[in-house]
Amino acid sequence: MGGLVVVVDGFSMGAVLAGQLAARVSCVHVLSDERYLARFAGGEVPDIYTDSFILGRDGDVKVISDALATYGPAEVVAGSEWGVWLAEALAVGLGVPTNSAGGTHLRRNKFDMVEAAGAAGLAVAAQAMVTDGEQAAHWMVGLGLERAVAKPLESAASDNVFICDSPASLGAAVSTIRASRSVMLTTNEKVVVQQFLDGTEYVVNTVSGAGEDKVSEVWRVTKYLSDEGRNLYDFDDLCDPVSADAKDVIDYVRRLLPVLGMVHGAGHTEVMRGTQGVRLIESAARVSGAANPQAIRVATGNDQIGLLVDLLTRPAAFREAPEVYPLLQSVRCVHLMTGVRRVFSHARTLAFLQTLPTFSNIVFRSRDGAQLEPTVDVATCPGAFFLVAASSLDIHRDYLAFRAWELSLDRQAQTLEEAAHA
């Protein structure tokens, strides 16, 4: 068994990670911003921790690092995207394994990571960093692009990502982003604009350590574009790792990880595979927001969280794991959506899902009884569930049944709204 582990921002999937770590070793929690306690349902520090600290309330990075040193921690891990920068800073201060020192910006800044990948010879999109809409519009005209993407420099959960079909709409998107705060509660002083990449999106989840990169999953993403130019994520299918598309994206990500200095811990990388090959969308040094040990372990024998826990507590078990997962069952991750304002019921949703033969489990992101707003991105998706079966046809049947039921809820809510205003 390994020594004590420090978990930074252990909410979202970080709560699942922390729970599995705590089953093996003692853990201490560090929250990078006290405001997250109110913002995230999973932000509360659970009883599994030996101690907890909050940056700003309990001191600066050095003060907290010195306090943590008294516990003799063996590892520091980011529980979510919000904790990446602090986790790496604390790991350096404590002298424990981490990603490349001084390179956190390559794993957080969406402009810098693409620039680094391109400089290393990997195929990437054309891009620029701008401070206003006029700059963005001129850039798009100058390159003769028919479609472009605008997004914050540092954020998560597809926050304020816009796909634009004209210089004017790109300029407007940049202005919208600049006028808003990110889901990470930071100001958007600069905005990334990028060439739109045609093709199919893939997600590659990895765990790196001891000079090895283990691939836990490759997901093929199905999404569509809303009228407002936002990506709405429909479902993700776990790929057969020996398929041509999976091999292509795995090869790209294996070359990318050392470029970004991702040598110790989890990686969550999004790429686009099209007629011009594989190109980077973005990468993050943390577990996937759709991590799901219950479903994925049935399908592959392990999962990203399991591999990461082994790396941090039983390195020998990590080294013995296969470099690429085997596909034992078909899996689909389905993202809940709503097109109207309506009340969200956990019990009603779960009751329907349990009628589906391939249903495995669900992760709720919105609280029970919440007033849902129309889904516009990952952050406004109220939850995700997993379907697991030997047959992908059985999974698709159950997926269609759920979407029909979900649409009926929207229609009922719309009818009630219209009646209330009649």
Q: What is the pLDDT of residue 158?
A: 66
The helix or strand, by DSSP H or E, that contains position 416, with its residue range, turns out to be: helix 392-420
Q: What is the pLDDT of residue 6?
A: 98
DSSP label at 2? -
Alpha-carbon torsion angle 166, 171, 176, 177, nearest 10: 100
* Mean pLDDT, range 80-102, rounded to an integer: 95
Other beta carbons within 10 angstroms of residue 129's beta carbon come to: 17
Take residue 230 and report the two structure tokens written for it.
């936002």
Q: Which CATH number fits domain 126-195: 3.30.70.20, 3.40.50.1370, 3.40.50.20, 3.30.1490.20?
A: 3.30.1490.20
Q: State the pLDDT confidence band at 44, using cuts at 50, 70 and 90.
A: low
203: helix, coil or strand? strand
124-133, 222-231, 300-309: least confidently modelled range:
222-231
pLDDT at 1 over 60: no
Q: State the pLDDT confidence band at 359, using cuts at 50, 70 and 90.
A: very high
Residue 362 vs residues 270, 333, 334, 384, 386: alpha-carbon distances, Å: 23, 9, 9, 6, 6
Q: What is the pLDDT of residue 45?
A: 64
Alpha-carbon torsion angle 295, 343, 379, 23, nearest 10: -40
pLDDT at 41 over 70: no
Q: What is the pLDDT of residue 272?
A: 97
Q: What is the pLDDT of residue 417?
A: 81
- Annotation: CATH topology of 200-418: D-amino Acid Aminotransferase; Chain A, domain 1 (3.30.470)
Locate the domains of the chain by residue range. Answer: 5-98, 126-195, 200-418
259: helix, coil or strand? helix
pLDDT at 227 over 90: no
Nearest CA-CA partner of 73 in 12, 34, 104, 29: 29
What is the rounded distance in angstroms from the CA atom of residue 13 to the CA atom of residue 81? 10
What is the rounded distance in angstroms from the CA atom of residue 167 to the CA atom of residue 135? 10
Q: Residue 30: beta bridge partners?
A: 8, 53
Q: State the pLDDT confidence band at 229, using cuts at 50, 70 and 90.
A: confident
- Domain range 5-98, CATH class: alpha beta
